[in-house]
Chains A and B, each alone.
Chain A
Amino acid sequence: DADVTQTPRNRITKTGKRIMLECSQTKGHDRMYWYRQDPGLGLRLIYYSFDVKDINKGEISDGYSVSRQAQAKFSLSLESAIPNQTALYFCATSDLEGTEAFFGQGTRLTVV
């Protein structure tokens, strides 16, 4: 089993719908991140969390919200999806000292 698991792997949704992307990890890391990736733009940070009580906005948080349900679970929500949120989304974790990030398999989201 993967150390960082994202569900779903692929999703097509309609404009205006609410959608949740889930991430769970078995690495025991405190830090968790949500990124989106668009062609030519690399990975852009949406939100990050250092522990269950600590949530921080990243570079592009507008239109997104997150929930850290437990140390191992970090969910990303799109309250009202729009087509320009079509992207590849990655969840990542790192340990408390902020060393390397470990990535999930990614979720390909299409908003039509």
Chain B
Amino acid sequence: QKEVEQNSGPLSVPEGAIASLNCTYSDRGSQSFFWYRQYSGKSPELIMFIYSNGDKEDGRFTAQLNKASQYVSLLIRDSQPSDSATYLCAVNKHDMRFGAGTRLTVKP
């Protein structure tokens, strides 16, 4: 079992819709959780981080963490074509491990 699992997609949503991205992790001792966005051929860039159970909102983005279920999600409201990218879930305990990423396409 991979330490960080994501649905690889691709996920396609119409412009203006909500995109929902999911991630599970295997190590219960994991302490911090991150969502990165990566455009093709570019470096990953941080969108959100979350440390505590519950929801964390930043603009159109909401991260949700459920440590009991070992589950992290990212919601993107009012999706825009510029949100089309690969979204990487990352989990930090002693090091930083990434999932395989979910490719999101937002169609105009």
Contact = CB atoms under 8 A, between A and B. Distances in A.
A19 interface: no
Contacts of A74: none
A48 B95 contact: yes
Given A42-B88, A99-B49, A103-B44, A56 B95 contact: yes
Interface centre among A35, A42, A48, A90 (most CB of B within 10 A): A42
A99 B88 contact: no
A10 B100 CA distance: 23
Contacts of B45: 103
A98 B96 contact: yes
A92 B36 CA distance: 13
Interface string B74-108: 00000000000000101010111111110000000
Main secondary structure of the interface of B (DSSP, over half): strand
A112 B72 CA distance: 40
Interface in B33-75: 34, 41-46, 49
B32 interface: yes
B43 A58 contact: no
A56 B97 CA distance: 14
Given A99-B32, A105-B43, A42 B98 contact: yes
Interface of B: 4, 6, 8, 31-32, 34, 41-46, 49, 88, 90, 92, 94-101
21 contacts: A33-B96, A40-B8, A43-B44, A43-B88, A44-B98, A45-B98, A48-B96, A59-B97, A90-B43, A92-B96, A94-B92, A98-B31, A98-B92, A98-B94, A99-B49, A101-B34, A101-B44, A101-B46, A103-B45, A104-B43, A105-B43
